[in-house]
């Protein structure tokens, strides 16, 4: 066996249909008494409901989270948390809301209790992102790792099917890259394979019947595992491509992951045979790249960058930006390889 370092991400996880009922108990477990509840404007009703459940343990709601955490939004939320004397934040929503919680925690050190309602997996990582002057910067800091995560599949029943599917592929992308990460290890390998298996099964169930609680539970369980492996391994070419496309052209996050993943896997296929074999076993497919592409199409997701707002004229610049500060990748890449990959993803060609 190769030698390795495994960094656990020590969160307390409470997983059950109806688990949100345990919220007051979990706030008390944190030793907190003054929770500020965060959400996006679209999920304000959820934030209000959670604040009501908390009663005197809540100091109010802040329903202003937006995607990619603009620094101005982060500053206002930090000020509000300080003004209200909050001693913890409850982030109820997807990666954007968890991201706002992380921006508060990064400066104040306040503990985060996350209640994820998508499958993005951010709640299990010490990775934060902040956008300033049109540039998204990411970093790692243990202060931003949520201390408690409440996974309640009932809260994801209303996540629209299209978003459920792309969000699921976002999570699968974390696991796929963890399998061939520079610091991959046997523990993250097991979690990644199980996460991909659970999501593949869960997404198919959800596409057939969005109200299916077992399917929703499988997706959320898979999201947990995939998020956890993202949190303890480093990212590679796929995430680099998505960060460039999302940060510079503001393409939708989960949709970008869905369109890029088959091509990133095709690019790395020969260089990471063990990882590909594990993805294939988890998905019951004979080719990891083609299997991901086919499943995305079958579940109704967009598989081309042009469908989600990318312009063909910008592909040259995107390839240059990826090459400017490349991440580790199992297959060393050239600009021509990246440009070809982007072309395939732009037109949605089956790898
Ligand atoms: P999101 O949080 O932006 O949510 C998208 C929309 O769906 C929002 O309007 C939200 O309110 C709504 N929504 C969420 N859950 C819902 C539900 N159950 N029912 C109805 N509507 C619901 O989307 P996302 O894909 O979860 O997060 C994307 C962001 O997360 C990006 O900024 C990305 O960079 C970040 N992210 C970070 C990490 C990390 O480790 N730091 C990991 C993954 C994603």
What predicted TM-score, i.e. pTM, was given to this entire model?
Answer: 0.97
CATH superfamily, domain 161-347, is: Dehydroquinate synthase-like - alpha domain (1.20.1090.10)
- Substitution candidate for ligand 1 out of 94, 119, 131, 228 with most atoms within 8 A of CB: 94
116 lines ligand 1 (CB under 6 A): no
**DSSP letter, residue 98:** H
Q: How far apart are CA 295 and CA 301, in angstroms?
A: 9
**Which among 56, 34, 58, 31 has a CA at the least distance from the CA of 47?**
58
**DSSP letter, residue 155:** G
Residue limits of CATH 1.20.1090.10 in the chain: 161-347
Identify the sign of the CA torsion 301, 307, 311, 315. positive
**DSSP letter, residue 6:** -
pLDDT at position 217 over 90:
yes
Facing residues of 115 across strands? 92
Ligand 1: residue whose CA is nearest its atom 35: 95
Exposure string of 278-287, with b = 16+ CB inside 10 Å and e = fewer, is: bbbebbebeb
First to last CA, the chain: 32
Ligand 1: residue whose CA is nearest its atom 4: 94
What percent of the chain lies above the pLDDT cut of 70?
100
Which pLDDT score is estimated for 167?
Answer: 98
Measured from the Cα of 69, ligand 1's closest atom is 32
Q: How far apart are CA 163 and CA 172, in angstroms?
A: 14
Residue limits of CATH 3.40.50.1970 in the chain: 12-156
Indicate the helix (H) or strand (E) that contains 346: helix 335-347
- What CATH number has the domain spanning 12-156? 3.40.50.1970
127 lines ligand 1 (CB under 6 A): yes
pLDDT in tens, 12-21: 999 999 999 9
> Span 144-150, mean pLDDT?
98
> Span 129-138, mean pLDDT?
84
136 lines ligand 1 (CB under 6 A): no
Q: How far apart are CA 335 and CA 37, in angstroms?
A: 44
């Amino acid at each position: 066996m190769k030698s390795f370092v495994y960094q656990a991400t020590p969160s307390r996880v409470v997983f059950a249909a109806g688990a949100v009922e345990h919220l007051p108990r979990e706030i008390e477990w944190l030793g907190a008494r003054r929770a500020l509840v965060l959400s996006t404007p679209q999920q304000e009703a959820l934030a209000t409901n959670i604040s009501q459940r908390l009663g005197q343990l809540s100091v109010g709601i802040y329903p202003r989270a937006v995607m990619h955490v603009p620094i101005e939004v982060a500053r206002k939320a930090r000020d509000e948390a300080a003004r209200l004397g909050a001693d913890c934040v409850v982030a109820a929503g997807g990666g954007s809301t968890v991201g706002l919680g992380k921006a508060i925690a990064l400066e104040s050190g306040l503990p985060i209790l996350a209640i994820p309602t998508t499958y993005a997996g951010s709640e299990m990582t010490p990775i934060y992102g902040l956008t300033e002057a049109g540039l998204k910067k990411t970093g790692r800091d243990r202060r931003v790792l949520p201390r408690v995560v409440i996974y309640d599949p009932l809260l994801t029943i209303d996540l629209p099917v299209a978003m459920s599917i792309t969000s699921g592929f976002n999570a699968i992308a974390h696991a796929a890259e963890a399998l061939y990460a520079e610091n991959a290890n046997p523990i993250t390998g097991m979690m990644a394979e199980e996460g991909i298996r659970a999501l593949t099964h869960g997404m198919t169930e959800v596409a057939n019947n969005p109200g299916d609680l077992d399917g929703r539970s499988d997706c959320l369980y898979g999201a947990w595992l995939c998020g956890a492996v993202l949190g303890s391994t480093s990212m590679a070419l796929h995430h680099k491509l998505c960060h460039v496309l999302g940060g510079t052209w503001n393409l939708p996050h989960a949709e970008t992951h869905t369109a890029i993943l088959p091509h990133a896997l095709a690019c790395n296929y020969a260089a990471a045979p063990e990882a590909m074999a594990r993805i294939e076993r988890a998905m019951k497919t004979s080719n990891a790249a083609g299997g991901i592409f086919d499943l995305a199409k079958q579940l109704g997701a967009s598989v081309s960058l042009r469908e989600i707002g990318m312009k063909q004229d910008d592909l040259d610049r995107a390839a240059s930006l990826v090459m400017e500060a490349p991440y580790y990748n199992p297959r060393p890449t050239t600009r021509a390889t990246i440009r070809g990959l982007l072309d395939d993803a732009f037109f949605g060609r089956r790898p």
